[in-house]
Structure 1
Amino acid sequence: MKKITLLSALIASTLSVPSFACTTILVGNQATKDGSFIVARNEDYQANNTKQFIYHPAEAKQKADFKSNANDFTYPAAEHALEYTSLSDYDTKGTSMGEAGFNSAGVGISATETIYNGSKALAADPYVTKTGIGEDAIENVILPRVHTAKEGVELLGKIIEKQGASEGFGVAFVDKTGIWYLETGSGHQWMAQKLPADKYFVSANQGRLSTYKPHNPDYLASPTLVSFAENHALYTPVTGEAFNFHKAYSQDTQNDVTYNYPRVWTLQHMYTQGLKTKIDQGQNFPVFLTPTHKLTINDVEQGLRNHYQGTSHDPYANNNPKEPYRPISVFRTQESHILQVRPSLPIAIGETEYMAYGMSALSVYIPYYQGMTQVPKALTLGNDKADDQSANWQFRKLQTLAMTNWNEFAPIVQKAYQQFEQQTAVKQQALEKQYLAIYKKEPKKAQALINQFEQKTVDDALTLTHDLTNTLLTKMTHDTDMLYHFEGA
């Protein structure tokens, strides 16, 4: 039985295909230019898997218990369920695989960063694959119930301890007081740390947390985290050597050297100049860093769009789909999101989700305010087959065309979207000024301003995308004509 358990753990930790491979960036408010907290992630899976932006209204009691679409995990219906948003897979009808969003209490979640726990840890405490909680359930279970980021960590932690985790994951929680990041250690072990306010953190499909201080308010964990590690030889106390969560519960394999390390190394060197770390020595990467310059939303967007451009490892400019370094921005990205919390503003406009459909390097980030109550219809449509109505497929079709000739087409798309984002940022400032002037005396009118802004911004983005698609098709038509011209004498 022990041999079977060990074999299962080895398969889960070393042979799993990284299908849900994502990249996460967290930034404390003292490390940002405008004093905001930032949680960001690329959700990478399958290009045909359409994402839908779902608005979930508040409920006195949810109509049914939560039932996972991925396994047999269930959770009781929430009493006094909070209003929240999610980015759900098309085939879940918004009930699961929520991925990211804010609730009406001001809590934001990004779930999950897929990570792989160590084989020894999983041999002792395997994932509860049949009934444990996983990526499919986390956002939709947690957001309707919690009023603070810390409360979200504690609720998810209790679920892991009682029902188990079905897979390895990292989850980010944010509110006006800060950012928390939770990582699994095994089927029932976990730890979380509050991000230092003056630091940023990067994760790429690998457990990154290391230090654990059991009596420090900035740390939370399963009650037996350290004793379990001691009892199963994952950690042996030695004089001068403190407990290290990563060494005890995570893994460093040959696959990490090309799949994970380059992404973390690239972002850390992008944001912090003068680092001496080597790209193939991930064990030596710092966990938290201070940026050389305070970061902005644009800096985070550029990080999520990175594909080693300007180097020999750029798979797109070099037309090399077999490039060994896995880029941050991949074509199979389903959506890329950035959750921003500005504590000094009302929640309705102080909490914003920037979301780009599809491949981040060829997409446009559109801001969605927490106060939005009417989601533009195009965001709620689409499935796994191309169409002309859903926002997902309108962006995806343009990206597919651009990938046929990256060096010629990508700059056209990127320049147009960059200008659109800059123009939108100016319009945001105008909207926020209008909102602040009337939201106390005329709350309904203020909310209407947000809904109108969102609809107009999405409409304009889709019009631009339509025009860009026609621009590329015009060029492709001309190029095809020249290639197969067969003009006579």
Structure 2
Amino acid sequence: MPCTTILVGKKASYDGSTLIARNDDSGAGSYTPKRFVKVRADQQPAVYKTALSHLRIELPSDPMGYTAMPNVIKGEGIWGACGINEANVAMTATETITSNERVLGLDPLVRWQDPEEDRLLHFPEEYLTDESGAADDSDCSKEDKPAPGGLGEEDFVILTLPYIHSAREGVERLGALLEKYGTYEMNGIAFSDTDEIWWMETIGGHHWIARRVPDDAYVAMPNQFGMDYFDIEDALGEGADYLCSKDLKEFIDRGHLDLSMGEDAFNPRDAFGSHDDADHVYNTPRAWYIERYLNPGSFVWEGEDADFRPDSDDIPWCLIPEKKITVEDIKYLLGSHFQGTPYDPYGSYGDSLMRGAYRSIGVNRTDFMACLQLRPYMDKAPGIEWIAFGSGVFNAFVPMYTDIDDTPSYLKDTPAEVSTDSLYWNNRLIAALTNAAYGKSLNHIERYRLKVQSEGRRLINIYDEKIAGAPSEQVVRQLCEKANQEIADMARRETAAVLDKVLYEASNIMKNAYARSDA
């Protein structure tokens, strides 16, 4: 899926938290309703069946509960997207990334294959794979045997998050699954705990690399292979800051993938990634805008003598920011549309031909935005999941505790049909109406965002104090759920109020408007 990811190390964040955040965007011309749920340990299956690749995988017997953002409409799998588990480990999956012909020719993606196309829709139960992942071909000839595909975005959260107790464990578990089953797409995955953030990128069908995000740095990731430095010796040795698939060095040598000259450091972006013309419109401008915002004085970002431009291939994967980064910074960036540049599709100045020239970060087809915050100073309930549905240009972050047994209905019970009883659908409606009357309605959105996020922080501050003094884990969960409900009720009131305002503004500029009244 087309998305944007921002990762912030604990020494680069405003309060010492690790922050991993991502927009989850649908493909062009589509919109995927989402909901915020808590999956209890007893709801986790013993055997998992993939929807798109027809695999069956036996799962460990000791899952933990975790939050997730699954699809509402069934048919293509769960797509858990992101969450925090009961060991306070967070995961977001995935950022769809890129590759190149040399990699894919050496280690092809593991795609579902069936000699009869109609079997995709009418797939006999006896042809499903067994728990080991091997195809059951007892009732079909070699020529007719369907070949199961690999794993993908629909699967990663449910296969990984319930079983890991650290960010590093997340990389190790998912890496083992990738090496065994492979993947049918290119993926970027983030894991975090209160101490570390790890970023993982898949390479071809079965290979992968992962790097620990420096504590004092942030990462900007559009839909492109990101890492621009990798220490293979550390990855295959001590593994202090780098990890990889076991045969990565041989894989690189066999495919002549290392493009470095002489003593130059190995650059995985050059070896495994893409530098297509499409990247310069779709991907690199997003990294450029994020780093321009967080490091405005570190480089020259515009003009003929710019260090980095929107179409630069060498925009750094990570940087030390000029000031510490807040949740609000992340919300602004993930909902941005290149404000303050000639490329803003809503711009009213400059060369009109350049407006919308590049793919914005905050687009119309964002399904949700989430920032997973793990706070080291909170011994109890350190996890906060900041959630916004719909286009990030027109919504607000709503904070939710994750040490819970259930989530509020307003965020959980998203129906497949449009409904004003759901935060997801309300945010979709607000976005479309505000877009239609942008100049008139933007101030309503700004006030809405300030009110919801300020009140959300106020309530978190109040409940943090209560939680700190709670006598038991049961009381902590009760307080977290009470706080979440109070925050959801507040968000519902404020969302209804702003929907009323933007509906009024959009109604006033309808083509059939007429000034004279009947009387």
Provide the TM-score with structure 2 as the length reference.
Answer: 0.85
Give me the whole-angstrom Cα distance separating, in 2, the residues matched to 1:380 and 1:270: 33
**CA 1:85/1:93 → structure 2, altered by over 3 Å: closer, same or farther?**
farther
Give me the whole-angstrom Cα distance separating, in 1, the residues matched to 2:219 and 2:433: 34
> 38, 63, 71: which one pairs with 1:81?
63
**CA 1:320/1:486 → structure 2, altered by over 3 Å: closer, same or farther?**
farther
1:408 aligns with 2:443: no
**CA 1:445/1:253 → structure 2, altered by over 3 Å: closer, same or farther?**
same
Question: More deviation in 239-248 or 31-40?
Answer: 239-248
Letter of the 1:42 partner, please give it: N
Give the deviation of 1:446 after TM superposition.
3.0
1:166 aligns with 2:207: no
Give the deviation of 1:118 after TM superposition.
1.1
Give the corresponding residue for 2:361: 328
**CA 1:164/1:383 → structure 2, altered by over 3 Å: closer, same or farther?**
same
The answer to whether the 8 Å contact 1:62/1:79 transfers is no
1:26 aligns with 2:7: yes
Give me the whole-angstrom Cα distance separating, in 2, the residues matched to 1:486 and 1:296: 50
The answer to whether the 8 Å contact 2:77/2:154 transfers is no
Give me the whole-angstrom Cα distance separating, in 2, the residues matched to 1:233 and 1:79: 42
Give me the whole-angstrom Cα distance separating, in 1, the residues matched to 2:6 and 2:367: 17
Give the corresponding residue for 1:354: 386
> 250, 254, 269: which one pairs with 1:246?
269
Question: More deviation in 320-329 or 264-273?
Answer: 320-329
Give the corresponding residue for 2:40: 57
5+ residue gaps, structure 1: 1-19
Give the corresponding residue for 2:91: 109
**CA 1:122/1:415 → structure 2, altered by over 3 Å: closer, same or farther?**
same
Give the deviation of 1:320 after TM superposition.
8.8
**CA 1:446/1:285 → structure 2, altered by over 3 Å: closer, same or farther?**
same
Give me the whole-angstrom Cα distance separating, in 2, the residues matched to 1:247 and 1:480: 51
> 157, 161, 169: which one pairs with 1:143?
161
**CA 1:466/1:488 → structure 2, altered by over 3 Å: closer, same or farther?**
closer
Letter of the 1:413 partner, please give it: I
Structure 1 residue matching 2:11: 3-state secondary structure: helix
Give me the whole-angstrom Cα distance separating, in 2, the residues matched to 1:281 and 1:485: 48
The answer to whether the 8 Å contact 2:343/2:355 transfers is no
Letter of the 1:181 partner, please give it: W
1:225 aligns with 2:248: yes
Structure 2 residue matching 1:110: 3-state secondary structure: strand
Give the corresponding residue for 2:202: 184
Give the corresponding residue for 2:128: none
**CA 1:352/1:446 → structure 2, altered by over 3 Å: closer, same or farther?**
same
Using the aligned pairs only, state the percent identity.
Answer: 29
Give me the whole-angstrom Cα distance separating, in 2, the residues matched to 1:44 and 1:334: 5
Structure 2 residue matching 1:184: 3-state secondary structure: strand
> 275, 278, 282: which one pairs with 1:255?
278
Letter of the 1:401 partner, please give it: L
The answer to whether the 8 Å contact 1:333/1:358 transfers is yes
Give me the whole-angstrom Cα distance separating, in 1, the residues matched to 2:354 and 2:478: 46
Give the deviation of 1:62 after TM superposition.
4.3
**CA 1:366/1:138 → structure 2, altered by over 3 Å: closer, same or farther?**
same
The answer to whether the 8 Å contact 1:117/1:184 transfers is no
Give me the whole-angstrom Cα distance separating, in 2, the residues matched to 1:421 and 1:93: 34
> 335, 345, 352: which one pairs with 1:315?
345
Alignment of 1:426-465 (within 5 A): 426-438=458-470, 441-465=471-495
Give the deviation of 1:448 after TM superposition.
1.6
**CA 1:479/1:242 → structure 2, altered by over 3 Å: closer, same or farther?**
closer
Give the corresponding residue for 2:220: 202
Letter of the 1:27 partner, please give it: V
Provide the TM-score with structure 1 as the length reference.
Answer: 0.90
Letter of the 2:211 partner, please give it: Q
Give me the whole-angstrom Cα distance separating, in 2, the residues matched to 1:446 and 1:237: 53
Give the deviation of 1:416 after TM superposition.
1.8
Higher helix share: 1
Give the deviation of 1:458 after TM superposition.
0.9
Give the corresponding residue for 1:9: none
Give me the whole-angstrom Cα distance separating, in 1, the residues matched to 2:46 and 2:20: 30
Letter of the 1:178 partner, please give it: E
1:343 aligns with 2:376: yes
Residues 205-259 of structure 1: per-residue CA shift (max 9 Å, x gap): 0011132223241100011212211111212676413332111111111001111
Structure 2 residue matching 1:90: 3-state secondary structure: coil
> 255, 262, 265: which one pairs with 2:288?
265
Letter of the 2:41 partner, please give it: A
Residues 423-465 of structure 1: per-residue CA shift (max 9 Å, x gap): 2212211110111122xx2443332221111111111111111
The answer to whether the 8 Å contact 1:394/1:462 transfers is no
Give the corresponding residue for 1:15: none
5+ residue gaps, structure 2: 113-148, 301-306
Give the corresponding residue for 2:101: 119
Letter of the 1:407 partner, please give it: G
Give me the whole-angstrom Cα distance separating, in 1, the residues matched to 2:102 and 2:511: 60
The answer to whether the 8 Å contact 1:88/1:94 transfers is no
Give me the whole-angstrom Cα distance separating, in 2, the residues matched to 1:488 and 1:152: 67
Give the deviation of 1:281 after TM superposition.
4.5
Letter of the 2:362 partner, please give it: S
**CA 1:95/1:445 → structure 2, altered by over 3 Å: closer, same or farther?**
farther
The answer to whether the 8 Å contact 2:33/2:72 transfers is yes
Give the deviation of 1:384 after TM superposition.
4.0
> 153, 172, 175: which one pairs with 1:154?
172
Give the corresponding residue for 1:6: none
Residues 287-344 of structure 1: per-residue CA shift (max 9 Å, x gap): 2201001111111111111111132211134599982210100110000000111122
Structure 2 residue matching 1:337: 3-state secondary structure: strand
Give the corresponding residue for 2:17: 36
Letter of the 1:104 partner, please give it: E
Give me the whole-angstrom Cα distance separating, in 2, the residues matched to 1:45 and 1:185: 23
> 386, 396, 405: which one pairs with 1:364?
396
CA-based RMSD of the aligned residues comes to 2.3
The answer to whether the 8 Å contact 2:63/2:163 transfers is yes
Give me the whole-angstrom Cα distance separating, in 2, the residues matched to 1:419 and 1:351: 22
Alignment size in residue pairs: 466
Give me the whole-angstrom Cα distance separating, in 1, the residues matched to 2:45 and 2:328: 40
The answer to whether the 8 Å contact 1:65/1:75 transfers is yes
Structure 1 residue matching 2:345: 3-state secondary structure: coil
Give the corresponding residue for 1:17: none
Give the corresponding residue for 2:304: none
**CA 1:285/1:475 → structure 2, altered by over 3 Å: closer, same or farther?**
closer
